[in-house]
Structure formats: structure tokens, C-alpha cells
Amino acid sequence: DNDVGGSLQSDGTFAICDHDPGYGSVARNLSFNILEANEENKASYTSDPVLVIGVMGRKIGFIPAAARLADPERKMPLVIILPEALAKKDWQGSLEFITEKINEKLSSFGRCVVVISEGVQVGDLGVLRDSFGNEQFSASERTVEHVLVNYLNGTERKDAKGRAQSRLKVRGIARSERPGTRQRRETAYVSEVDLKEAYQVGAYAAKLALKGKDGFMSTIMRVPGDTYKVRHDKVPLNVVANSKREFPKEWIAPNRIDVTNEFVNWAMPLIGESPPRFARFE
């Protein structure tokens, strides 16, 4: 039997290809989610000015980074927290830093939408692991967005009457949500580009197998140029097994709570048709 496969990692963790099938649809899903969450935050900010959304990706920042695709012009009070942007061991310092940046948005906009990777270090989450040793953050005792919300709301520091002492600069509370596995399963938000590429990756893998090739994975490689175009190649499975990818440092904004235009230019073609824009009265 021939051992040939196609890449499928929605968080973009394989280091030997431009991107994996599934990522474009997950990125599109999140961009729609952020657009809608921003509209709701506008309406509810007088009571809950901060919305913290925990997203997939373990300790790789490609999924939370896709939140910027909802707002490439940077008009939203959006804070994006990538695992690669913060100290891996100083979780207390990270919580303080995130709070400071959220309060800066509150001072300017009165509200804030936070997108944070499930793998950001914020203390002991009581994480369980799968049979491969990977963290299963959705099965942990606590989630990163819940820890952050509790910290922002000051639930661990109460006054004499038992009231939490908020760390927010404005009235109201922070609240959290986690889209969960809907991020990778919802066909309503599928990227047509991603759908086409996934089919092509599978077809290329089938061709390799029919040619008698063994021990390879089919991949997506981007063709250099101003127009988005891809080609397919093969990589030995033993190389794939040992590959590891981090979000490029040069794509992390200097303020550490955003991504650069280089990421936007790289990712935007993957999600297909741009997310819709809500009507505004002049």
C-alpha cells in the first residue's frame, strides 16, 4: 500500500507549505464573527464594554491573527493577543500588559473587542492532553478568556462588602465567549478559495499514489507575484512529522496587540470574497 496524504491543519502549523487546507475557511469564519461581535459590542458597551473572545490555535497565532481581516483599515477598538507576542512564562506580566492595552482602547473608544488565542500563558488552566500529548484547551478546568475576564473584572480582589474591584477604566464589566469547534465546522462561512484548494490537494495526493509514490504529503505552495496563485508539491511525511511553525515575528505589530499589513496581504486572498460591511448613515 502507498502512504500518501494531504495536509489538513486549520491553524496553519505545518512549516513546509504556504498554508494548509482549512485555514482560509477558519479565517473567514472568524472575520465574520468579529464583524458581528463588534456591532453587538457597540450596542451593549454601556453595561459590558469589553468582550473577550477565545479562539483556537493552541500556541500558534495564525487563527487569532485572522481577526484583523474583519477590519483591515483598523477602525475597530480591536486587541489581538497572539501566543508569540507575549512572554511564555511571565503570565502575571502578560495579564497586566493586556489589561493596560485594553484600558487604552477604553480611554479612546469606551469599549473594546479582544481576540485571544487559547494557548496564551495566563497561569495554570488545568489542561488535559490527548494521546499525542497535545493540550486540549477546550477540556481544561479553566479557559484563557475566562481567566482574563476574571482578572479584568477583579473577581479575586473584593471590597468589604464582597464586591469585585474592576481593573477597567470605565463602568461595566468584561464578558467572554468561545466559538469552539464551530470555527472549523461551519459550512455557512466556508471560503470558496479554500474549498477549491482542498479538493486540489486531495486530487494531487491521489495522483501521487497512482504513480506509486510512497511516504509523501501533498502541499500548497504560493507562486510569487502580485496575483494570488498556488501550485502543489509533495513533502516526505517524516519531514512533516518534525516540522513546526510559529507566527512570523515580522508580522507581529510593534505594539504586540495587532498584526502588520504584511499578514493581511498574505491572508486576505485565502478567505475568498471579502466580509460584508454594515450600512452606515452619513
Is residue 210 a part of any domain in this protein? no
Residue 94 lies in a domain: yes
Give residue-wise pLDDT tens across range 145-168: 999 999 999 999 988 888 999 999
pLDDT of 9 higher than 60: no
pLDDT at position 187 is 82
- Mean pLDDT value across the chain: 89
Domain contains 234: no
Q: pLDDT of 169-207, one tens digit each?
A: 999 999 999 987 777 788 888 999 999 999 999 999 999
Residue 203's H or E segment, with its range, is helix 192-210
pLDDT in tens, 240-273: 776 778 899 999 999 999 999 999 999 999 999 8
Residue 3 has pLDDT above 70, yes or no: no
Q: Is residue 172 part of a domain?
A: yes
Angle, CA 95 vertex, CA 151 and CA 90 arms, to 5°: 135
Tell me the per-residue pLDDT of 30-76, one tens digit each, with 9 for 90 and over: 999 999 999 999 999 999 999 999 999 878 999 999 999 999 999 99
What the block records as the C-alpha cell of 153 is 473584572
| 58 in any annotated domain | yes
Regarding predicted confidence, which is higher, 279 or 69?
69
Q: In sequence order, what are the beta bridge partners of 221?
A: 231
Does the predicted TM-score (pTM) go above 0.85? yes
How many domains, in total, are found in the chain? 1
Judged on CB neighbours under 10 Å (0-12, 13-18, 19+), 221 is middle
The C-alpha R_g of the chain, in whole angstroms, comes to 20
CATH code of the domain covering residue 168: 3.40.50.460
Cβ contact 252:82 at 8 Å: yes
Residue 2 has pLDDT above 50, yes or no: no
- How far apart CA 263 and CA 58 sit, in angstroms, is 19
**pLDDT surpasses 90 at 275:** no
Q: What pLDDT does 137 receive?
A: 74
Q: Which residue has the higher pLDDT, 218 or 242?
A: 218
Q: Supply the DSSP string of 99-118, one letter for each residue.
A: HHHHHHHHHHHS-EEEEEET
Q: What is the pLDDT of residue 11?
A: 52
Note down the domain range covering 165: 25-188+254-260
More confident call, 52 vs 276 = 52
Q: Give residue 14's pLDDT.
A: 64
Domain membership of residue 103 (yes or no) is yes
Q: Which residue has the higher pLDDT, 254 or 138?
A: 254
- At residue 262, the pLDDT reads 97
**Separation CA 2–CA 273 (nearest Å):** 37
Residues whose CB is less than 8 angstroms from the CB of residue 258 and which lie 6 or more positions away in sequence, other chains included:
68, 74, 78, 79, 80
Please report the pLDDT score of residue 169 as a whole number. Answer: 96
pLDDT digits (tens, 9 = 90+) for 63-112: 999 999 999 999 999 999 999 999 888 999 999 999 999 999 999 999 99
Task: Establish if 244 belongs to a structural domain.
Answer: no
Count other C-beta atoms under 10 Å from residue 232's C-beta.
Answer: 18
Q: Is residue 159 part of a domain?
A: yes
